């Protein structure tokens, strides 16, 4: 399968296999008016398989969301057909309004204007807990 390279834009590479559509949805890429290619289960020497998203536009990305969904993913910035910047994603220390607390007694249930904030509490298991009630975030 051949997917053309892009002249200017962003390539999200090394996405966890099967997570490409979730990344597409959570980053709001469906609202963009540009060419986007989603490649699922592409062969990878490093991972075996990976997903890739190519965006033919220079946009602002929420790297917090991307790091949460696919730690280890890379963001490649393409200018004039050349990779000018490469960033490797990692688990963010804090998530703000990315996931919601499912504890019915949490203050965020009654005080809905409060931001949903989760802190990384276990890096090895990628666990996040609500800063208000310490409920574990559901993936």
Q: Is 0.85 surpassed by the pTM of this model?
A: no
- Please, what are the averages of pLDDT over each run of 10 residues along the chain (139 residues)? 79 94 90 90 90 91 89 94 93 93 93 94 95 91
As given in the structure block, the two tokens for residue 95 are 């998530």
Please give the Cα distance from 40 to 135 (Å, whole number): 33
pLDDT at 1 (0 to 100): 59
Which pLDDT score is estimated for 138?
Answer: 82
What are the structural domains of the chain? 9-88 (3.30.70.140), 94-130 (no CATH)
User: How much is the pLDDT for 84?
Assistant: 93
Contact between 91 and 121 under an 8 Å Cβ cutoff? The reply is no
* Cα separations in angstroms, 103 against 22, 114, 119, 133: 24, 14, 16, 8
Check: CB of residue 55 under 8 Å from CB of residue 36. Answer: yes
């Amino acid at each position: 399968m051949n997917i053309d390279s892009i002249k200017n834009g962003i390539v999200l590479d090394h996405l966890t296999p099967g997570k490409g559509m979730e990344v597409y949805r959570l980053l709001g890429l469906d609202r963009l008016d540009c060419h986007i290619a989603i490649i699922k289960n592409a062969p990878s020497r490093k991972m075996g398989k990976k997903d890739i998203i190519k965006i033919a536009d220079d946009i602002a990305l929420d790297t917090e969301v991307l790091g949460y969904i696919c730690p280890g993913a890379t963001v490649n910035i393409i200018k004039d057909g050349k990779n000018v910047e490469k960033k490797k994603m990692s688990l963010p220390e804090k998530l703000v309004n990315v996931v919601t607390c499912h504890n019915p007694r949490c203050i965020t249930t009654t005080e809905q204007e409060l931001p949903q904030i989760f802190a990384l509490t276990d890096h090895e298991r990628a666990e996040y807990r609500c800063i208000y009630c310490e409920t574990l975030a559901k993936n």
